[in-house]
Homo-oligomer: A and B are copies of this chain.
Amino acid sequence: MATSPYQQLEEEFRRLHAFHGALALLRWDAAVMMPRGSAEVRGDQIAALEMECHALLTTPKLSRLIERAEANVQGLEEWQIANLREMRRQRDYAIATPNTVISRLAKAIARSEMHWLEARRSGRFTDVAPHLAEVVSLMRDRAALLGQHLGLEPYDALIDEYTPGVKTAEIDTLFKAMGHRLPALVRDARELQATTSVLPFSGRFPASKQRALCVDVMKALGFPFEHGRLDESAHPFTEGLTGDIRITTQFDPQDPFRGLLAAMHETGHALYDLGLPAQWRKQPVGGNRGMALEESQSLILEKMVGHSRPFLAYLKPLLEKHYGVSGPEWEVDNLYRYLTRVNHGVLSADADELTYPAHIMMRYELEKELLSGELEVARLPEAWNAAAESRLGIAPSNDVEGCLQDMHWYVGQFGYFPAYALGGLIAAQLWERLRTDLEGLDEQIGRGDFSGLAGWLRTHVYEVGARMTVQDLVQDATDRPLSSAPMLRYLEAKYLEGIT
């Protein structure tokens, strides 16, 4: 039976999808189940499979098939054409960086990650500086090569890899509007919160009880345990592909909420991944539309839902059931005040939704300067501290709480940070619209019924897959271009007017 070039491509990408699924399991197992002494063996397995994926994407045969399919799109349907575009996109990224650069980068990153861990222990940035400099230099080469191949500015090519279709110019505009309004908003919110007090929580909350609570909430949110798992790991994450999604969280016996909220964050990722168009799940167009949209889905569940009064009203009896707690500190108003307290600190991991964007914006500015060469790696600590002073109004007292706090740059993740803040903007814009579309949403959430929310997200986000850019998705879902206005309205209502 003769198969068309396009059909042959689908066959090749089904194989690639299967390899990606195997890789996802190898990574999940390494973080959750693997005996400590087996890291080297696992490294070999992951490297062999990654090489295989890269080889599959870079064979001349695949490029020929893409060209032949592109010359013959008139017989294809809309989804197939979008799929072909995503195939080319994956091919382009694979082929743009020569194997030598990939292999040098992999080794430089391994060294840099090791020395970053070392530097965090010693507190000396100089321990890792030369290794970070090597990563930055190789990333600069990679960005140039990618940009050349894709017709993009170098840094835009890196951003595009994480969040397809988004460019620096657009991010600058969005961030500028945020940066303009946020400082005053933070100040006003802190003044307002200074007039109220929060009752503290005491007691111990064993992991087994936190887990049972998580499972109850995750089931209500729609997490299908017959296609997924909840486990514990050092850093919460979601791994897997459609059909087998595994999330992790971490339970601190002294913190009754952190493990749950992290699980809700990861459930947001998981529901998005599980809800991707079933018919296309083995093809590129059936994948997620990048990290900003991924992040928006986790933020909607963690922040917009998880930090809202209706949700806390639903949660209260569950806290009583699982933790056996009661008393004034466990009343909805106190829970809400506790969870929405503005935390004005130097660590982005501890930041709330009001101060978080400033952390991201300063990383975005710094990584642009690092890549352009404007900022030398050796001068990163002082540049970081100056940016923190100006953006956050507070400077870290040492580099561990400063430029050593995130792993991203040290493992070569440049162009990733903007996705966190963009994810917040997308979340707020989708949230604003879905609240007008869904009558009685607060009441539904208050009684633990998340089906309306899930249905809206399925239609407007999950089932779109990678068929269009994230900007088009937001436009289609909200009838407006992506903007920072909904986020600012949301923050003002929540932190100044005490709404939701």
Contact = CB atoms under 8 A, between A and B. Distances in A.
A26 interface: yes
Q: Which of A21, A25, A282 has most B Cβ within 10 Å?
A: A25
A15 B50 CA distance: 11
Contact of A18 (B19, B35, B48, B226): B48
A18 to B, nearest CB: 4
Interface stretch (A36-44, A69-77, A93-101): A36-44
Contact of A42 (B14, B48, B52, B244): B244
Contacts of A38: 227, 243-244
A34 B33 CA distance: 12
Nearest to A23: B22
A241 B41 contact: yes
Nearest to A17: B44
A227 B37 CA distance: 5
Interface string A205-232: 0000000000000000000111111000
A427 to B, nearest CB: 28
A8 to B, nearest CB: 16
A52 to B, nearest CB: 7
A220 B51 CA distance: 40
A313 to B, nearest CB: 31
B22 A49 contact: yes
A45 interface: yes
A47 interface: yes
A305 B446 CA distance: 61
A18 B229 contact: no
A29 interface: yes
Contact of A15 (B15, B40, B48, B282): B48
A51 B34 CA distance: 26
A18 B45 contact: yes
Contact of A37 (B19, B26, B224): B224
Contacts of A41: 21, 241-244
A44 B41 CA distance: 23
A20 to B, nearest CB: 9
A228 B41 CA distance: 12
A224 B241 CA distance: 32
Interface-centre pick from A41, A226, A241, A243 (highest chain B CB count, 10 A):
A41
Contacts of A44: 14, 17-18, 21, 282
B241 A35 contact: no
A77 to B, nearest CB: 24
B224 A18 contact: no
Contacts of A14: 44, 48
A194 B19 CA distance: 59
Given A33-B33, A41-B243, A22 B21 contact: no
A35 B47 CA distance: 26
A225 B37 CA distance: 9
Q: Pick the most buried of A34, A47, A242, A244: most chain B CB atoms within 10 A of its CB.
A: A244
A45 B45 CA distance: 14
A225 B34 CA distance: 10
B29 A25 contact: yes
Contacts of A244: 34-35, 38, 41-42
A352 B17 CA distance: 47
A408 to B, nearest CB: 27
Given A18-B48, A40-B243, A52-B52, A225 B25 contact: no
Interface in A133-155: none
Contacts of A25: 25-26, 29, 45
8 contacts: A14-B48, A19-B45, A21-B41, A21-B45, A22-B49, A35-B226, A37-B243, A40-B243
Q: Please give me the 3 A-B residue pairs with the lowest Cβ-Cβ distance, nearest first.
A: A18-B48, A38-B244, A41-B243
